[in-house]
Structure 1
């Protein structure tokens, strides 16, 4: 069910500000003066086709690729010159497209790797993760490569949560999953948001993503073409035609 988009206006300051960042790969400009904001306890979605710049934007926020211009501010502090490690310690995390789990390791070992920045709270966070993802408790001794696609996606999200992030970024969580599993994944994201987590999501499945998000941004060839509350985007004729099959 679509979330109430009034949440952002009730917050005094954004948690994340991306201010006119540009990113290039050689002579190819992947992002062109992109600006977005994410407020505490929001789900914000980036929608767009393959190659629109969604993955590049998430990786630039984390610090994988520094912007050539513009700035990224997290909780009032500029972070676009920081290392990935420093940004993770500050409370950011990214679940990459393709899950990124360690296939030859057990479920439990994958989860514990996610806690290496937050060892003091390892046991508490593991217990919480098992509450949210009970299937992972059952599979804790199982090798990750033997999990189903949906279980691997759950493991990737759970591993990110082991660091107790303030902002969790997730790249294409529905990619390659059966529709019934996609529903489960988005239900989990809504549950996490209700528990207080702030989520920035990149997703091609615009209908599912907008129905769980408070607000959204539409990316086209490295620029923001449209933004607004999810209800507005779901009813926009251009979004309907391009992304909702209408």
Structure 2
């Protein structure tokens, strides 16, 4: 059933890319607890997306799942059309919040990185965020909010992340430009940078490898690795009216990792 936040959220609608798993999944659930309905995207695992839809229905804020490859910019116009139809199903014409969360990992170093890997990471993490946001802006309400997802690796350099980290740093810069240009529409844009989170990302290395898990915990002030439940509520909170005057900011959600 709906929670105490529902009256504040009203009939707000969020679009969350990569909402079937990990941080995106918890973001959709955290929004549902606040009474915000979501249209979430999934890349290939519709079964997991359907599970999220079922959970949000139980929370009184039913969601809709749509397939999307955020690395395929040629598909964005079609996705926009499908999104418009999904909004109509929700008896709406526009949405209020956009969370650019979908991403893919890379373990490439300066020595091993290839042009193909650079193109893939650029396509998903920068080009995809830029062009998808551009495509969807006509369907977004003025006064809305956008949260882009970065990484602690945009701040801290680690071996084997020579492509992934800089791509996320580019997203952080893009966020400030988005905030500047969308100011006249009263759309605030912020970026959340999670630390090492125990999900299936990067093959589940933080979650499933005890050595990596301990290394992360030992370098984190609060003494453990993060979980999706640490991050989703922060994103949902940033989208709320309570944080309406926060704009163009980078918020790291990492428990004090490598400070």
* TM-score class normalised by the smaller sequence: 0.3 to 0.5
Give the TM-score normalised by structure 1. 0.36
Question: Between Structure 1 and Structure 2, which shows a larger proportion of helix residues?
Answer: 2
Bigger share in strand: 1
